[in-house]
Structure 1
Amino acid sequence: MNLKAFIQDMKDMMKKNYKVLLLVLLLAFASCSFTSKTFDDTDKDKLLIQVVTYVLQSGHFDPIKLNDSFSEELFSDYIEQIDPVKRYFYKSDFKEFEKYKTEIDDQLKAFDITFFNVVHNRMMQRIEESKAIYKEVLSTPFDYSIDETFDTDYDKIDFVSNKAEMKERWRKQLKFSTLSNYDDIYQQEQQAKKKNPSYTMKTAVEIEKEAREATLKSINVYFNDNIDDLTREDWFSTYVNAIVEEFDPHTYYLAPKGKEDFDTQMSGKLEGIGARLTKRMDYIKIVELISGGPAWRSQLLEVEDVILKVKQEDEEVGIDIVGMRISDAVKYIKGPKGTKVTLTIKKVDGTIKDVTIVRDVVELGETYAKASIVEKDDRKFGIINLPRFYVDFEDYKNLNAANDVRKEIERLKADGMEGLILDLRNNGGGSLPAVVDMAGLFIKEGPVVQVRSTGAPKEVLRDRDESISWDGPLVILVNELSASASEIMAAAMQDYKRAIVIGSKQTYGKGTVQNVYNLNNLVRNNTSGDLGALAFTTQKYYRINGGSVQLEGVKSDVQVPGRFSFIEVGEKEKENPLPYDEIDPADYKTWDSYFDYDTAINKSKERLSNNSQLKLIEENAKWVKSQIDETEFSLNYETYKKQLEANEEEAKRFDAISDYKTNLTFLPTGFEKQLFESDTTNLQEKRERWYQNLSKDVYVEEAVNVLEDLKMAYSIKKVAKVKD
């Protein structure tokens, strides 16, 4: 679930209930006669613990008990968060910490932060010790002829027992990091020799030394510019986040600085490469490419790519960001418009590449709905791509996804559209009112989604507008990254039998709604400083048939393999997700039409079972999964290089996926043709690139086939009905 979509979910769903929630929390705090003066004015941490735990217990959709079980989970998760690769703490440290394993809940109830203080103080000590260790390790050459391996699955290893073992752990991790530097330099030397036969290549000893120095520079920067800059408040924010994330994966704490970044995201502009990132274990991973942004335009980056290093245009060597906090890594990736940044990327298939991106200002307006005419033989269809369910709360009537989709439908109809594809792939969600309004474009009236809050009766959100913008054949495309609001839309159209859903086995599976709350609002006479904000889950939403999309997602009518078919993505992958459940269905009637959905679905399944392109995509997905499962790597350069080359060779087998070509033609609507004539925003260039990608899209090709089947069935049944 991406941040912008998450923001919209929170704002929309809580708009009605926000005042009620605020009143409940304020009354609860008033009954406690709580002010910041209860504590010493400098004891901000204890105040923060008191406020956060009370808000969660009072306002969270499914508050969990602060007991020994909670304490044990928090203990394990917090230690893992601050030392995920076990390169700081010793077994003796862990054993010392363990005496608090079942006491943290009691400390939280008493606003006691002893556990944090003990762990934090030891962490500061171990960090200082590690600086001496890594410098000592990197002062000695690595021998890449030795047959030894390094395992990146840190769950398999335990904490070390002594300093000798700690040094050995650092040695292997640093050797693994330096190995890619060694290979980069060696490749550069070979290229130089190839261009100029008289060039004298560096020796293996010189290359090893240069690679090791590059690693030293990188890790020095990591400690000096990041770790050493972290304040106690930063570390305590990590602890608070560990606490709140035990409630569910979409509940998190925004420290004052984090809240500022959050507000910047809301401003609508991002300066950088246009990619949203997350951290999984020790790695920074791309979770979304913003449509129209530099990374998206480059066609060089993909969702699930891992960023290993970042190099500025005036630097010779990149900074290794493996192990960095995501906020620190972003500092290196972001930058002024027009500057270049080179990212060393580990692709999903295991291959490693350097990608150079020119930074730019990313206008989130590029995520608005866009449409194209699709021509096949003598027929015209339409496709509307919707990256998210956006809305401007200050100007809802003029700027919201539903209104824009309605306009695109009218333009497509004016150009002779006979069937419509609504592309919700990679759509992370957004505004619920926009979902309800958009569903209303395709049905006469009726319920669209059900919402439930703890201790309150369910609320049914309905389309009350009897007008219909499109009553013809409709196909909705989804994938594993279609989440939240896009799941509601697909589910509603599926339940009404209004559309055929084509895509992944199931969508993302996020069925919860969050609210962002300013914690300072709950403290009277606050003299302790800014407490930040808390995002927490307040509601769950359900399909009109009573089922939840939580964990289960929306199962496509026609299931097709995709790149992530065998990779664990979505809500199920998260820690502490809320469970799946069901409520009573809403009162609704399925769509009354002449479309033969069952026949169209069966025909589609039959076609796809013999589709060579989809078989290749499925083979690629299985191979990608095997690469992800491989966590043990050789530290012998020859073996390492052979494995890299084998991966690159195997990856070539799947180049045919991007070479695929459909027999479809994509054209601008008449409305956009006029815009092209006075184009000052490179709109035509952006659209032509989109058309080019669509022309290679096997899923769009099948969606058009299904529209043809529905159109044919509609014509036959309508004629038969008239004769009867």
Structure 2
Amino acid sequence: MTINRILCCLVLGLLFHGLYADIPSVSDDSLVSAERHRRTTEIITHIISSYHYKNKPLDDALSSAILDRYLDSLDPNRSYFLASDIRTFEKYRNTLDDALDKQDITPAFEIFRIYRKRVDERVTFSVNLLEEDFYFNKDEDYIFDRRDLAWPATDAEMNDIWRQRVKNDILNLILANKKQDEYKSTLHKRYERIRTSTYQLDANDIFQTFINAYTTSIEPHTAYFSPRTSENFDISMRLSLEGIGAVLSSDNDYTVIQQIIPGGPADLSKQLHKDDKIVGVAQGETGEIVDVIGWRLDDVVDLIRGPKDTVLRLEFLPKDVGPEGPHRIVTLVRNKIKLEEQAAKSSIIDLDDNNRIGVIKLPTFYVDFAAQSKGDKDYKSTTHDVRKLIRDLQKENIKGMVMDLRGNGGGSLSEALELTGLFIEEGPIVQTRDSSSLVEINYDPDPGIEYNGPLAVLVDRNSASASEIFAGAIQDYQRGIVIGEPTFGKGTVQNIVDLNRFVRNSEDDHGRLKTTIAQFFRISGGSNQFKGVVPDIIFPTAKDTSKYGERSLDNALPWDQVKPAEYVKVNAPVDKFPLAYDKHRARIKTDRAFQLLLEERNFIEAANERKSLSLLQSKREDERDQLARTKRNLQNEIRLAQGLQPIPENTDMEEFETDNEEIDEMKNDILLNETANILYDLMNIGRMETRELQAIQQDKPEAINNL
């Protein structure tokens, strides 16, 4: 967790706070821990040692991890601290556990003061460099991602790193057709902003960063929320959000879109996507775009927030153009998240011989808690909506059904249980183990079955939490076939604790602690944690799964297992799955649209895996042109395969934005159509009777150990 990730991630909401630039700098004398910090430390260490799911002692080993994580949170790209600084900090390697036991946060402030000094030195050096002339006729590489490299050993080495950084920043702006006075002004503001933001961090910020180095050294989902962060968290949890509808995180000077919220302005624009990087923000239709590279995450959030129905423009770096590709600008109107856009929707895929496959797309597991608590029988919920959609689809004489959970990050646990119950007669759905090792089994709350026909569940790397509970249960019951990519792997339960409950006779706000208290387990005994749900048929879009979800986190809880629950499996023809896989492989080899989709994904991944860039202008221009040509050629092949006209040479691809939105939907449909084909194959392999895919119970219960 970096200093820019004090908020970790935020759903952008309604309130507009003044920009952090209006806050005065904090003096060195003010960077000391207060009594409330000591009280908060005592409460947090007590809660974690007593109630956290992972029993990890506060000892020298944890102290070492805390130090490394704190240094990485301050300087993740190893561009400020010198190796000599790191050697100085080694005195804390095995003592931070003792300091936390004594509620002594002094080491955090001592380290931060040196960090401030190094930031000041780097900014001064960079601003002075802007007055020099740069020439871009030398072929040298700038390593922009230094996270896995050694700390710079000398001032000379550090100066050269920053010389290359400034040179690269200038070249980027030159390639964006900025004149000398423009790029000098932009970069001067950018670098000074780094200094200003750092010097505005107060004792509360330092305390939160250090305590989160402690909590995330235990596991990634345990975090301390300062009073200011708690306010932002409350905004993110409100049912009716006003903003752009995006979850943001910070990564190496960039503000990255971590998730697009269904029904929000960002989602409805069809132009912003997960992993796009926001590099500039402007207010209104004509306001000046403010460069936000290097900004703290909460400062960017403050700039994006605003009243409902107001306009803002975002300049962003699309994920599919590489680390330094051309930027784009999108205009958005701040508004509420439209709940109807989050709701389940149905469609029908017509296959050969008048065979129809129904599709239900579920963006999230939702429920109107307010209406439910009032006793409204018709309150809006996932299960209510899906039940109606199933009945409507059955009237259309569908022969099978696909539940599309791609991109579904979860939601209400009760809805995951009830939704699963629409497809099974009765029985357990998920198990939960708490920190005392007590296992509780959650059952289908409503005996009976709404749909008993052939079923496929389509998932991807972003299907998480409640989605994994549903998909895992369908797989364990052998109720249907799971297709797609290994899922996110989020199998833990968190609780938010108000720390003020533990303090008497104090007007100070001590913030909150999000702590992991339990873990989900499938009824087969294995956990969804870390591994996720592994599909019965894995699409070739799933490349290196270690780079996604919980598997990409260096401190995630490992996979685990408990005793399987007793449940009655039904009769999906799992013995026919290999035959269906063979037919799938043969079909996509000759499916040009599917192969183009794979080529495009490989192209995007290769572009984003780069860690260095050439500072030779001619080479950089050639690389950018080649990247653009490759992207255009792929887009044109996809367009031709879908019956659209190709984009002419020397034409701005943004002029075809409306068509590109259709292309995105078509690319999405490629995987959905293939899922329908696989389900259809299973219904027909060996002249199989449709009832073989139906939810028909076996004669006697059997505990299935599908680990």
TM-score normalized with structure 2 length:
0.83
* Aligned-residue offset at 1:331: 2.6
What's the secondary structure of 2:369's corresponding residue? Answer: coil
The gaps in structure 1 that reach 5 residues or longer are 9-39, 187-206, 664-685
Q: Which of 189, 210, 215 is the equivalent residue of 1:244? A: 215
1:488 is aligned to 2:462: no
* Aligned-residue offset at 1:712: 4.5
Cα pair 2:281 2:312 within 8 Å, conserved: no
- Describe the shift of the 1:71–1:595 C-alpha distance in structure 2 as closer, same or farther (beyond 3 A): closer
Between the aligned partners of 2:73 and 2:691, the Cα distance in structure 1 is 65
- Describe the shift of the 1:181–1:492 C-alpha distance in structure 2 as closer, same or farther (beyond 3 A): same
Q: Which residue of 1 aligns with 2:238?
A: 267
Q: Which of 531, 537, 544 is the equivalent residue of 2:516? A: 537
Cα pair 1:496 1:591 within 8 Å, conserved: yes
What's the secondary structure of 1:99's corresponding residue? Answer: helix
Q: Which residue of 2 aligns with 1:211?
A: 183
Cα pair 1:273 1:357 within 8 Å, conserved: no
Q: Which residue of 2 aligns with 1:36?
A: none
Between 641-650 and 471-480, the greater mean CA deviation after superposition: 641-650
Q: Which residue of 1 aligns with 2:349?
A: 374
1:122 is aligned to 2:114: yes
Q: Which residue of 1 aligns with 2:361?
A: 385
Cα pair 2:276 2:316 within 8 Å, conserved: no
What's the secondary structure of 1:655's corresponding residue? Answer: helix
What's the secondary structure of 1:352's corresponding residue? Answer: coil
* Aligned-residue offset at 1:91: 2.9
Q: Which of 198, 201, 215 is the equivalent residue of 1:227? A: 198
* Aligned-residue offset at 1:380: 3.4
Between the aligned partners of 1:332 and 1:41, the Cα distance in structure 2 is 29
Name the amino acid aligned to 1:717.
Answer: E
Q: Which of 325, 330, 336 is the equivalent residue of 1:356? A: 330
Q: Which residue of 1 aligns with 2:431?
A: 450
* Aligned-residue offset at 1:510: 1.2
Between the aligned partners of 1:692 and 1:89, the Cα distance in structure 2 is 43
1:83 is aligned to 2:75: yes
1:102 is aligned to 2:83: no
Cα pair 1:88 1:130 within 8 Å, conserved: yes
- Describe the shift of the 1:440–1:181 C-alpha distance in structure 2 as closer, same or farther (beyond 3 A): same
Cα pair 1:291 1:367 within 8 Å, conserved: yes
Cα pair 2:278 2:314 within 8 Å, conserved: no
Q: Which of 301, 321, 329 is the equivalent residue of 2:300? A: 329
CA-based RMSD: 3.2
1:651 is aligned to 2:631: yes
Cα pair 2:116 2:199 within 8 Å, conserved: no
Name the amino acid aligned to 2:48.
Answer: L
Q: Which residue of 1 aligns with 2:133?
A: 141
Between the aligned partners of 1:246 and 1:719, the Cα distance in structure 2 is 51
Name the amino acid aligned to 1:250.
Answer: H
Cα pair 2:193 2:295 within 8 Å, conserved: no
* Aligned-residue offset at 1:83: 1.4
1:144-183 matches, within 5 Å, as 144-161=136-153, 163-183=155-175
Q: Which residue of 1 aligns with 2:61?
A: 69
1:548 is aligned to 2:527: yes
Name the amino acid aligned to 2:190.
Answer: S
Between the aligned partners of 1:459 and 1:627, the Cα distance in structure 2 is 46
What's the secondary structure of 1:292's corresponding residue? Answer: coil
Between the aligned partners of 2:255 and 2:681, the Cα distance in structure 1 is 44
What CA deviation, in whole Å up to 9, does each residue of 1:503-553 have, x standing for no partner?
01x1111111111111111223234x1111111111111111111111111
Cα pair 1:344 1:353 within 8 Å, conserved: yes
Name the amino acid aligned to 1:301.
Answer: L
Cα pair 1:567 1:625 within 8 Å, conserved: no
* Aligned-residue offset at 1:341: 1.0
What CA deviation, in whole Å up to 9, does each residue of 1:417-452 have, x standing for no partner?
332211100111122211111110001001111111
1:410 is aligned to 2:391: yes
Name the amino acid aligned to 1:73.
Answer: A
- Describe the shift of the 1:548–1:594 C-alpha distance in structure 2 as closer, same or farther (beyond 3 A): closer
Moved over 6 A (4+): 314-317, 593-596, 660-663, 689-692, 718-721
- Describe the shift of the 1:660–1:466 C-alpha distance in structure 2 as closer, same or farther (beyond 3 A): farther
What's the secondary structure of 1:540's corresponding residue? Answer: strand
* Aligned-residue offset at 1:718: 6.6
What CA deviation, in whole Å up to 9, does each residue of 1:129-173 have, x standing for no partner?
344223212222322223322102213544345555444333222
Between the aligned partners of 2:78 and 2:552, the Cα distance in structure 1 is 22
1:441-590 matches, within 5 Å, as 441-504=422-485, 506-527=486-507, 529-562=508-541, 568-590=547-569
Cα pair 2:573 2:692 within 8 Å, conserved: no
- Describe the shift of the 1:359–1:228 C-alpha distance in structure 2 as closer, same or farther (beyond 3 A): farther
Between 279-288 and 560-569, the greater mean CA deviation after superposition: 560-569
- Describe the shift of the 1:85–1:322 C-alpha distance in structure 2 as closer, same or farther (beyond 3 A): farther
What's the secondary structure of 2:526's corresponding residue? Answer: coil
Between the aligned partners of 2:246 and 2:129, the Cα distance in structure 1 is 35
Name the amino acid aligned to 1:414.
Answer: K
Name the amino acid aligned to 1:52.
Answer: I
Q: Which residue of 2 aligns with 1:299?
A: 270
- Describe the shift of the 1:558–1:659 C-alpha distance in structure 2 as closer, same or farther (beyond 3 A): farther
Q: Which residue of 2 aligns with 1:52?
A: 44
Between 639-648 and 442-451, the greater mean CA deviation after superposition: 639-648
Q: Which residue of 2 aligns with 1:440?
A: 421
What CA deviation, in whole Å up to 9, does each residue of 1:275-326 have, x standing for no partner?
2122234332222122233322332222222333444557786444333322
Between the aligned partners of 2:62 and 2:306, the Cα distance in structure 1 is 41
* Aligned-residue offset at 1:485: 1.0
* Aligned-residue offset at 1:409: 1.4
Between the aligned partners of 2:152 and 2:571, the Cα distance in structure 1 is 67
* Aligned-residue offset at 1:109: 0.9
Name the amino acid aligned to 1:517.
Answer: V
What CA deviation, in whole Å up to 9, does each residue of 1:342-390 have, x standing for no partner?
3131424413331222232141512221222333463433211111112
- Describe the shift of the 1:429–1:597 C-alpha distance in structure 2 as closer, same or farther (beyond 3 A): farther
Q: Which residue of 1 aligns with 2:617?
A: 637
Cα pair 2:478 2:572 within 8 Å, conserved: no
Q: Which of 583, 597, 601 is the equivalent residue of 1:621? A: 601
Cα pair 2:545 2:551 within 8 Å, conserved: no
Between the aligned partners of 2:668 and 2:558, the Cα distance in structure 1 is 38
Name the amino acid aligned to 1:345.
Answer: L
Between the aligned partners of 2:155 and 2:73, the Cα distance in structure 1 is 22
- Describe the shift of the 1:80–1:470 C-alpha distance in structure 2 as closer, same or farther (beyond 3 A): same
- Describe the shift of the 1:593–1:279 C-alpha distance in structure 2 as closer, same or farther (beyond 3 A): closer
Could you tell me the percent identity over the aligned residues? 32
Q: Which residue of 1 aligns with 2:400?
A: 419
- Describe the shift of the 1:295–1:159 C-alpha distance in structure 2 as closer, same or farther (beyond 3 A): same
Name the amino acid aligned to 1:240.
Answer: I
- Describe the shift of the 1:594–1:482 C-alpha distance in structure 2 as closer, same or farther (beyond 3 A): closer
What's the secondary structure of 2:263's corresponding residue? Answer: coil
* Aligned-residue offset at 1:482: 0.7
Q: Which of 229, 239, 258 is the equivalent residue of 1:258? A: 229
What's the secondary structure of 1:481's corresponding residue? Answer: coil
* Aligned-residue offset at 1:696: 5.9
Q: Which residue of 2 aligns with 1:697?
A: 669
Q: Which residue of 1 aligns with 2:23?
A: none
Cα pair 1:339 1:359 within 8 Å, conserved: yes
Q: Which of 570, 580, 584 is the equivalent residue of 1:604? A: 584
Between the aligned partners of 2:550 and 2:398, the Cα distance in structure 1 is 36
* Aligned-residue offset at 1:214: 1.6
What's the secondary structure of 1:491's corresponding residue? Answer: helix
* Aligned-residue offset at 1:662: 7.4
